[in-house]
Structure 1
Amino acid sequence: MTGSRWLRGLRLSLARLPFGGPASEGPVHAFRDPWKGDPDQGARLIGGHFRFDRQDYPLPNGNWERGPWPEPVREWLHGFSWLRDLRTLGSDRARLTARGLVSDWLAHPPTDPLVRDACVTGSRLASWLSNHEFCLASADPRLQQRLMERMLVEGRTIAALLPLPPQGARGLMAFRGLLAAAMAMPEQTGFMSRFLRYLPGELERLVLADGTVVERSPEAQFLVARELAEMSVMFRTAHASVPPFIDRALDKVCPVLRAMRHGDGGLAVFNGANERHSAAVEDVLAQGSRQKLIAPAMPQGKFTRLALGKSLLLVDSGPPPPAGFDNMAHAGTLSFEFSHQRHRLFVNCGSAVVGAWRDAMRCSAAHTVLVADGLSSADFGPDGGMTRRPVTVSCDHQTDGSAHWLDLSHDGYHAPLGAKWTRRLYFGSDGEDLRGQEIIDGERNIDFTIRFHIHPDVKVTQDDEDIILQVGGTIWRFRQRDGAVRLENDVYLGRGKREVCQQIIITPRPLPDAAPPEGEAAPADEKTDAENAVKRTHQSVTWLLERIPE
């Protein structure tokens, strides 16, 4: 065991000892959770169960060690963020259910290691404090005392675990919980001092210079903005000045979050993101930023956002996030999404949190990309991180003001296939003309599939070689050259449920067999050194999406 790990373990053990005097009788400062919950989830909780990632689970009653549940389910359960769902429901029964579940957890504290995870602990602490007025302020004094004693231990636990190893966006939950402890018990001055000491470094590690969160995910961007906005609310509730580094981070993060929205107000679906409700995104932006700025470019985050007329093209034009921040990452390098007004046409398939669907959604085939030989451009290990990834990803953007040209490539297929994929995109005609060329250069001809996933709201029909897309009163035509096109059934998880939709598939046309002319024998198998040299192959397909005039 290294010295730092030993010291952290010692601090954690000491933090959980009952010393330092009695806890406060109640929180000195409490604040109201600024985010709306899900009343449907609240109703399920009253009924004794909850839904997570499209699956139902029973609520624990006196047995919080339930399992074997997937780790994300247990994180959510022990994090108590679901208290806002009961608060949004707002009934007396919801209040009593919330109070009863908090009391039950305090009476039967689980031994699950996740309970001592700094991020889960932070979520739990902040959720207790932000819903205190709703379900705990009028509780029995003995419950209040148990709550404050536990909050003191939880705050010390987080303080002992700082600084955190790389956690990505979820790491900010620990700091939010520590801030909650500092607000509830300001006499414990160490909570605030460690918050102010370690959060600036965490933000520097997490937020790139252009404001993109290092995980390169619209979902992570949303979560970071929400965590920081809630911290800002907490300081203002306590009539304290918001630390300048929080305001500066919000001023960087929020414009990028706006840039990652489609015209419907929801998030683009890259790297573990789903659409989310536009109102939820708007609430975070309203709390987190004073100016409605959209990031004009993301040179460090390496997303390309092109808006023409009423259309929007968003492209994942950079490499996957670095190791340690890649647990949300998908094998979707060079994928794109396209929308017109408030309607999405081409999308990625969404994401899942647990199980086989999570693995399926991370594959290249669940993205609007070229899939070579049935492989993904990246592989993932048991811990969720990438074990193989594109190393070299390039993007050259040219524009004349009225049209855009993108020349993109990655080498994610070099290791398994010796191949390089190049994608060239043209975007013009006021956003009503999108064209592409897909090129595979390699050592041999490779079987490939180009997938264009279509949003469930779009009506799709095939007219000979043309694919007709209809949505929002507009009609679009898709056609291609040098390949074979067909429609296939598809699935979309981007709206939190499983929706059947369709996808356009382009495959290479079969190559003719090379046979010797009639009457001639096949040449002897004798080759010079030059002939034995590896021959490079070049396969290409072009495609076009255009709006049909009304």
Structure 2
Amino acid sequence: MRLSALAWFSERLLATRLAASARARGARALPFTAISMRIWRGRSQAPHVILVPQELRTADPVRADEFIEGVYVFAGQTVTTSDPFAIPPPSDEWMEALAGFGWLRHLRSAGTPEASDAARRLVLAWMEAQGRSHPVGWQPQVMAERLKAWLATSGLLLAGAEPAFYRRFARSLWRQMRLLQAQYVGLPPGAGRLSVLIALVTAGLCIEGEERLLKWAARRLAEELDRQILADGGHVSRNPGVLVGLILDLLPLRQLFPARNVTPPAAILTAVDRMMPMVRFLQFGDGSLARFNGMGPTAIDLVATALVYDESRGNIPASAPHSGFERLEAGKTVIIVDAGHPPPAAYSIGAHAGTLSFELSAGRQMLVVNCGAPAINRSVWRREARKTAAHSTVSVADRSSMRFASRGVIEGAVLSGPRHVAVSRRGLTLTAVHDGYRARFGVEHSRTMALAEDGLRLDGEDSIEGAGQPFAVRFHLHSVVQAIPTENGRSVLLVLPAGEAWVFAADQPVAIEPSVSLAMAEGPRRASQLVIEANSADTTRVRWGFRKLDRPAAAPQPSEPELPL
């Protein structure tokens, strides 16, 4: 009881501190209300765009044809209309993608007069709709994406445009810059701050007369990069997906600074150099990134684009101790393990309770995964995706190894979780233990994994030490993997689409239960999971393993007899 009361008091103390910090940020943003009002009354300037930043994200001219025809496909939903900003949006995700204007790159790639006209028409429609209720479109991160997209497409938008459009476009840029600068002080810690600062630095470099803004934003961007990018290149939130977007946003800045004869902050150069190897570290054989801590579907084309600019191309490290990940690789098998603490509370809004979970790829095929985070219907799946049961690890008493704030200004933040995560490694054998369940249930979870040198076998053991508690060992399978039970009930045949097969075996009965793959571009898909249930009062250890089956050799064809010639 004393331990439980102490844990409860620690959670309340952390929640109070986080809430006070959030309210303080909001209070600091209040003085900018008058500035915002003056902006909306039209007291804005019409600056000149003097540079166009490079857009590294891939584009599809076919999407441009859809926009020209009035077809808008975002977040899994299709809307056909002449003015997408004049209709009620079908979902917040759809509106977020539309109002971010990242899709303008598709029209720019087409480069036709029709694409130019459509781009100007849609930008003008947004400016006309500013008086309507589009709260999603004015969120700081969405506004930052729109500012970057408008600047990157300004060549297409302004070529051949009438002076009236140019003035209105430039004034809208100026207003959005000022609003972003005003809202920055109220932003919570995390990648959102980096996105806003990158947009402001880009604007300061591309728009004439914004030297003061550039100096202010560049200094704060350097401070945030030093604060958020860890020594091994990971992001402080431990979300792999943050890295790719940051790299694709920071690389163009490295070109814009010399073009304006301005020395870039050293933090921009060093941050990119640290992140590149980390992206390779977190990548599987199929090109996807590990599904940890809010990672959703991997845009493999964007990952490939970012890695093209990796000048180091050195060996992939085996450990990322600052980020809390381990990598086992042999033959064609890659395993990535979450062996780290939860992110700091202020950066934990998207963290998942997946300590000691792992993912496994066999060649170009994923075999074992975590459920991941959804890109569509996030509000429906977000809470379930963060639970320990949505990860390939052990859950005790059907609870998660972390506790999250359920309401208020700190909703979603990690209030408690593993405080001690010990990792020891010898070659391809990894042992890790965490105490995420000690405060509530008096147990610790330990996991040992040993990968064979040829990559064809993985042996593992999970143990629960302490008070007797029910626990479940879960292995979520990728949606394309077919699980076939065997007669003994302790092994399962796993068939991959390419015809390869693996066998999972354990020293306890194995059940095949439904699961869901959330980190899919097309939305959630049905999948399967292997579940071993036990009670530490009866057995404290569960041994299991994956073994690749040899393909049966093709039957020799009988040779035809030679003709007697």
User: Given the two structures, how large is their TM-score scaled by the length of structure 2?
Assistant: 0.82
Correspondence list, 1:230-241, <5 A: 230-235=252-257, 241=263
Distance 1:385 1:174 in 2: 22
1:439 equivalent to 2:460? Answer no
Q: Given the alignment of the two structures, is residue 10 of structure 1 paired with residue 36 of structure 2, yes or no? A: no
Partner residue, 1:385 = 412
Describe the SS at the equivalent of 1:429: coil
Residue identity matched to 2:495: Q
State the match for 1:189 in structure 2: 211
Deviation at 1:351, TM superposition (A): 1.2
| Partners of 2:423 and 2:431 within 8 A in 1 | yes
Worse-superposed segment, 3-12 or 228-237: 3-12
Relative to structure 1, the CA distance from residue 500 to residue 271 in structure 2 (aligned partners, 3 Å threshold; closer, same or farther) is same
Instruction: Name 1:532's counterpart in structure 2.
Output: none
CA distance in 1, matches of 2:112, 2:533: 56
SS of the equivalent of 1:484 reads coil
Whether contact under 8 Å (1:53, 1:352) holds in the other structure is no
The amino acid across from 2:417 in the alignment is P
Give the match's secondary structure for 1:251. Answer: helix
Aligned-partner residue type, residue 238 of structure 2? R
Q: Of the candidates 469, 473, 488, which is equivalent to residue 450 of structure 1?
A: 473
Q: 2:453 aligns with which of 409, 415, 429?
A: 429
Distance across 1 between alignment mates of 2:356 and 2:51: 47
**The residue matched to 2:130 in structure 1 has which SS?**
coil
1:322 aligns with 2:344: yes
Q: What is the rounded CA distance, in whole Å, between the counterparts of 1:222 and 1:311 in structure 2?
A: 23
Shift of the 270–468 alpha-carbon distance from structure 1 to 2, 3 Å rule, reads: same
Q: Separation in 1 of the partners of 2:438 and 2:77?
A: 38
| Match in the other structure for 2:495 | 470
Shift, 1:409, TM fit:
2.2
Which secondary structure state, in structure 2, belongs to the residue aligned with residue 396 of structure 1? strand
Q: Which runs of 5+ in 1 are unaligned?
A: 512-535
Q: Quick one: which amino acid aligns to residue 273 of structure 1?
A: M
Q: Alpha carbons of 1:412 and 1:388: their partners in 2 closer, same or farther (altered >3 Å)? A: farther
Q: Following the alignment from structure 1 to structure 2, what is the Cα–Cα distance between the partners of residues 181 and 65?
A: 30
Matched, 1:174 2:196: yes
Amino acid at match of 2:31: L
Cα pair 1:450 1:505 within 8 Å, conserved: yes
Question: 2:394 matched to 1:370?
Answer: yes
**CA separation of 1:263 and 1:40: change in aligned 2, threshold 3 A:** same
State the AA in 2 paired with 1:428: A
By how many angstroms is 1:249 displaced? 0.8
Hey, what does 1:99 align to over in structure 2? 120
Pairing of 1:23-42 with structure 2 (within 5 A): 23-24=46-47, 26-37=48-59
Q: Distance in 2 between matches of 1:318 and 1:188?
A: 42
Specify the SS of the correspondent of 1:549.
coil
Write the deviation string for residues 350-402 of structure 1: whole angstroms up to 9, x where unpaired: 21142222222222222111122222222332455234432324232221x4x
Equivalent of residue 289 in structure 2, options 264, 267, 275: 267
Q: CA deviation at 1:347?
A: 0.8
**Mapped contact 2:457–2:547 kept (Cα < 8 A):** yes
State whether structure 2 residue 105 is matched by structure 1 residue 84: yes
TM-score scaled by length of structure 1: 0.84
Alignment of 1:403-418 (within 5 A): 404-418=428-442
Question: Is the counterpart of residue 486 in structure 1 residue 507 in structure 2?
Answer: no
Does the 8 Å CA contact 2:403/2:417 hold for their aligned counterparts? no
- 1:494-523 alpha-carbon deviations (Å, 9 max, x no partner): 2312333322121228x9xxxxxxxxxxxx
1:148 CA displacement: 0.5
In the TM superposition, what whole-angstrom CA distance separates every residue of 1:246-289 from its partner, at most 9, and x where no partner exists? Answer: 111101111111101001222111111134233210102224x3
- Please state how far the C-alpha of 1:241 moved relative to its aligned partner: 4.9
**2:528 partner SS:** strand
Which is further off, 327-336 or 26-35?
Answer: 26-35
SS at match of 2:319: coil
Q: How many positions carry a matched residue from both structures?
A: 517
Deviation readout 1:196-248 (Å, 9 max, x if unpaired): 22111111121112211001011122222222223224435657554432111
Q: Percent identity among equivalent residues? A: 28
Q: For residues 56 and 364 of structure 1, do their structure 2 counterparts lie closer, same or farther at Cα, with a shift above 3 Å needed?
A: farther
Residue pairs, 1:121-160, within 5 angstroms: 121-160=143-182
User: CA RMSD of the aligned region, Å?
Assistant: 3.1
- Is 362-371 or 30-39 further displaced after alignment? 30-39
d(CA) in 2 for partners of 1:321, 1:7: 25
Provide the secondary structure at the position in 1 that maps to 2:509: strand
How far apart are the structure 1 equivalents of 2:130 and 2:339?
46
Counterpart contact for 2:396–2:437, Cα < 8 Å:
yes
Is 1:290 the equivalent of 2:316?
no
1:49 and 1:413 mapped to 2: Cα distance?
50
SS of aligned partner of 1:324: helix
- Flag the 1:322–1:76 CA change in 2: closer, same or farther, 3 A: farther
Contact 1:219 1:267 survives alignment (8 Å): yes
- Counterparts of 1:360 and 1:212 in 2: how far apart (Å)? 25
Q: How far 1:112 moved relative to its partner? A: 4.8
Q: 1:379/1:85 Cα in 2 relative to 1: closer, same or farther (>3 Å)?
A: farther
Could you tell me whether the CA contact under 8 Å between 2:75 and 2:97 is conserved in 1? no
Provide the rounded CA distance (Å) in 2 between the counterparts of 1:285 and 1:76.
Answer: 25
Q: CA deviation at 1:475?
A: 2.8
Q: CA 1:95–1:442 in structure 2 vs 1: closer, same or farther (change >3 Å)?
A: farther
